[in-house]
Structure 1
Amino acid sequence: MPYLIETYDKPDHHDLRLSTRDVHLAYLDANAERLIACGAKLDDAGEIASGGIYLVDVDTRAAAERFIEADPFHQAELFERVVITRWRKAYVDGRNVL
């Protein structure tokens, strides 16, 4: 059952994001089987991240909450806000998957 997790960084925390990035990416690599897709939300220049989008395949909202709470970005208190929403796959990679 897919969930969309959208994160919003605290203002002026770009340095914290950069210093925590490697351990965050290692966490994602270790949990790749749960990831449908994920990535940072960037400014229009494509240079500064201000949060992220995770599409995760987990069984429950509680599992989605545990997933994001275990992320090193979350543990470093990078996020100002986290929104978790159940998501229905309709199109993935340009293909209808309904």
Structure 2
Amino acid sequence: MLFMIHCVDKADSAAIRQDNRDAHLAYLNDHRDKIHAAGPLLADDQGGGPAGSLLLMEFPDQASAEAFAEGDPYNKAGLFARVEIKPWKQVLP
């Protein structure tokens, strides 16, 4: 089942994101087989800089998606103000 993982960065957290970027990317690469799409969300008011993350990933259940999100180095470092996880159904393409 596909899940949407929507993460919103805390205000003034660019240094946390930068300091943990390599670990975050390594974590994603370790789970590459589950990724449908992934990337940063951009904020217009920050000149297009990162403001969060959006991942569409395959997991057997909600608990597995939650465990993945909890293990993300960005989350462990306290980057996110909130994380929302919802089942997602692809319709197009």
TM over 0.5: yes
**Gaps (5+ residues) in structure 2?**
none
* 1:46-73 C-alpha deviation (Å, 9 max, x unpaired): 3x10101010100100000001111100
Quote how far apart the aligned CAs of 1:89 are: 1.0
Structure 1 residue 56 and structure 2 residue 57: aligned? Answer: yes
How far residue 43 of structure 1 moved from its aligned partner, in angstroms, is: 2.1
Q: What root-mean-square deviation, in Å, do the aligned CA atoms of Structure 1 and Structure 2 show?
A: 0.9
Q: Flag the structure with higher helix content.
A: 2
Alignment of 1:1-98 (within 5 A): 1-44=1-44, 45-46=47-48, 48-91=49-92, 95=93
Calculate percent identity across the aligned residue pairs: 37
4+ runs deviating over 6 angstroms: none
TM-score normalised by the chain length of structure 2: 0.93
User: TM-score, structure 1 length as denominator?
Assistant: 0.89
Structure 1: which 5+ runs fail to align? none
Alpha-carbon shift at residue 90 of structure 1 (Å): 1.1
